[in-house]
Amino acid sequence: MQKATSSPLVGPALTWWRGLSVPWQMQIIGSSMFTLLDFLVRIMLFHDPGIALGMMLAMAPLLLLLIAGLGSTYRLLGHAGRVDAAALSAIVMLSLGAAALCVLAAAILRKPFGLVLPYVSSGQEILVPLFYYGTIFACWSFAYFWVDAELARRNERQRAAQARDEALRSELRRLRQQLDPHFLLNALNGIGEELHDDPAAAAAMLHNLTFFLHHSLAANEATVVSFGAERDSLSAYLAVQKARFGPRLQMQVNASPEADGRPIPGFLLQPLVENAVKHGDRSTRLDITLSAAVLGDSLHIAVTNTGTLGTRNPGGGIGLINLTRRLALHYPNRHRFALTEQPNCVIAELTLTGDPC
C-alpha cells in the first residue's frame, strides 16, 4: 500500500506559521473569520454570490489593515493585557473609528454598481453597518486583550519556573560541593607517610584519590550519572580509606548489571559511605558493603557497616541532612530512606523510583 505524501507547500507553510508571534497569528485568524462572516452576510443581503465575493475581496485588505492597526494601537497606548476604564474607552472609540472606515469604503464600492442595502431605510444605511462592524471590531478587541493577558500570565509562569529551576540547580551544586575537607587532609597525610616506607602503596593511594576527585569534579558539571560511575568513585574512595586503616577496613561492592546502568544524582551516596567509615566500628575490623539491585522501576541500594547507631550524631549530621534534601529535590514523593540497626550492624537503605529530576 503506497504511503500518502503531503503537499510540498504544507511544510513551508507550517514553518512560516509557527514562526509568527501569537498576536500576528491571532490577527490573521481574526481577519480571516471576519472576512468569511462578511462574505456570508453579503450573500444574505444581495442574494448574489458574485457580488458578495467581489465585495469581500475588495474589503479584505482593509479589514486586515484595520485589525493589525487596532492591535498595534493598543500596544502603543499601553492598554494591552488589561481592561480598565481607559482601555474600555479606547476599545469603544477605536472600534467605532474602524467601523466608520469600513462603512465608508463599502459605500464607495457599492456606488458604481448602484447597490443599496435592502431592508433598511436611508437613515439606517449608515447606522446598521456601523453597529455591525463596530460590534465585530469590539469583540475582536476583547479577544485580543484576553489572549494578550493569557500570554503575559504564561510568560510569568515560565519566568517563575526558570527561577525555580535555577535555584534548584544552585542548591544541588552547593550540596554536591560539600566534600569533607578532613578526608582530603587525611588522604594526603597518608600518602606522605607511605612515600618513604612503601612508594607503591603511596602511588596506588594517589591514583585512587585522583580518580575520586576527578569524579567529584565531573559531578559538579553533570547532575546525573550512572550508578556504575558512582560505584567506581565510591570504590576509589574506600580504597583510599583502606590504605589509611589497613586490615582494619574491608570493603565489598555487589551491584547487578541492571543497577550499573541506572541514572542517579552524582555524589548522592557519598555521605552514606563516609558515615560508614567515620562511625563504623574499627576496634577489630570494619566491614563495609555496598549493594544495589533493580526491582521493577525502583533502584534499591544498601550501605552496610559493622557498628551501632549509638556512635552517630542524633541529628543525622550535615551529610545525611544534605542527602535527604537532595532526595526531595531529585525524587519528590518517589523515594524512601531508612537507617536501621541490627546486631553489630548498621544498614542505610535507599529506594529510588523512576529517573531523577
Look at residue 52 and tell me whether its pLDDT is greater than 80.
no
Residue whose C-alpha is closest to residue 282's, from 307, 304, 303: 307
User: What is the structure's pLDDT at 170?
Assistant: 60
Does residue 243 share a domain with residue 97? Answer: no
Residue whose C-alpha is closest to residue 174's, from 322, 335, 355: 322
The mean pLDDT of 84-99, rounded to a whole number, is: 86
Amino acid letter for position 71: G
Does residue 216 share a domain with residue 129? Answer: no
With bands split at pLDDT 50, 70 and 90, how would you rate the model's confidence at 1? very low
User: What is the structure's pLDDT at 258?
Assistant: 92
Q: Which residues contact 325 (CB under 8 A, 6 or more apart)?
A: 171, 175
The mean pLDDT of 212-225, rounded to a whole number, is: 69
Residue 7 lies in a domain: no
User: What is the structure's pLDDT at 300?
Assistant: 96
153-211 per-position pLDDT tens digit: 887 777 777 666 666 666 655 655 555 565 666 667 767 766 777 777 778 778 877 87
Residue 5 lies in a domain: no
Number of domains in the chain: 2
With bands split at pLDDT 50, 70 and 90, how would you rate the model's confidence at 249? confident
Residue whose C-alpha is closest to residue 36's, from 17, 59, 18, 8: 59
**pLDDT: which is higher, 156 or 252:** 252
User: What is the structure's pLDDT at 315?
Assistant: 45
Does residue 239 share a domain with residue 164? Answer: no
Does residue 185 share a domain with residue 109? Answer: no
Does residue 293 share a domain with residue 238? Answer: yes
Does residue 337 share a domain with residue 274? Answer: yes
For the four alpha carbons of 95, 96, 97 and 99, in that order, the dihedral sign comes to: positive
Does residue 133 share a domain with residue 236? Answer: no
**pLDDT: which is higher, 125 or 226:** 226
Q: What is the CATH number of the domain that holds 208?
A: 3.30.565.10
**pLDDT: which is higher, 86 or 167:** 86
Q: What's the rounded Cα separation, in Å, for the pair 1 and 24?
A: 41
- Please say which residue of 172, 187, 209 terminates a domain: 172
Does residue 190 share a domain with residue 99? Answer: no
Look at residue 312 and tell me whether its pLDDT is greater than 60.
no
With bands split at pLDDT 50, 70 and 90, how would you rate the model's confidence at 349? very high
Look at residue 112 and tell me whether its pLDDT is greater than 50.
yes
* Least confident window among 100-114, 144-158, 190-204, 292-306: 190-204
The number of beta carbons lying within 10 Å of the beta carbon of residue 104 is: 14
**Segment holding 225, helix H or strand E:** strand 224-226
- Please say which residue of 121, 141, 172 terminates a domain: 172
332-343 per-position pLDDT tens digit: 889 999 999 888
Q: What's the rounded Cα separation, in Å, for the pair 209 and 190?
A: 11
Contact status, residue 305 vs residue 312, Cβ threshold 8 Å: no
Look at residue 317 and tell me whether its pLDDT is greater than 60.
no
Residue 20 lies in a domain: yes
User: What is the structure's pLDDT at 21?
Assistant: 66
Look at residue 2 and tell me whether its pLDDT is greater than 50.
no
Q: What percent of the chain has pLDDT over 90?
A: 11
Look at residue 235 and tell me whether its pLDDT is greater than 80.
yes
With bands split at pLDDT 50, 70 and 90, how would you rate the model's confidence at 314? very low
**pLDDT: which is higher, 197 or 119:** 197
Show the domain range for 290. 177-353
**pLDDT: which is higher, 343 or 282:** 343
Residue 295, classified by CB atoms within 10 Å of its CB into exposed (0-12), middle (13-18) or buried (19+), is exposed
260-277 per-position pLDDT tens digit: 999 998 778 888 888 888
Does residue 220 share a domain with residue 151? Answer: no
Residue 4 lies in a domain: no
> For the range 341-344, what are the long-range contacts, defined as Cβ-Cβ under 8 Å and sequence gap of 24 or more?
341/308, 341/309, 344/281, 344/306, 344/307, 344/308
User: What is the structure's pLDDT at 7?
Assistant: 55
Residue 111 lies in a domain: yes
Does residue 168 share a domain with residue 33? Answer: yes
Kindly report the pTM of this predicted structure: 0.51
Amino acid letter for position 103: V
Does residue 151 share a domain with residue 32? Answer: yes
Residue 74 lies in a domain: yes
User: What is the structure's pLDDT at 338?
Assistant: 92
Residue 6 lies in a domain: no
Does residue 302 share a domain with residue 218? Answer: yes
User: What is the structure's pLDDT at 172?
Assistant: 58
The mean pLDDT of 67-84, rounded to a whole number, is: 76
- Please say which residue of 172, 194, 215 terminates a domain: 172
Cell representation of residue 333: 514523593
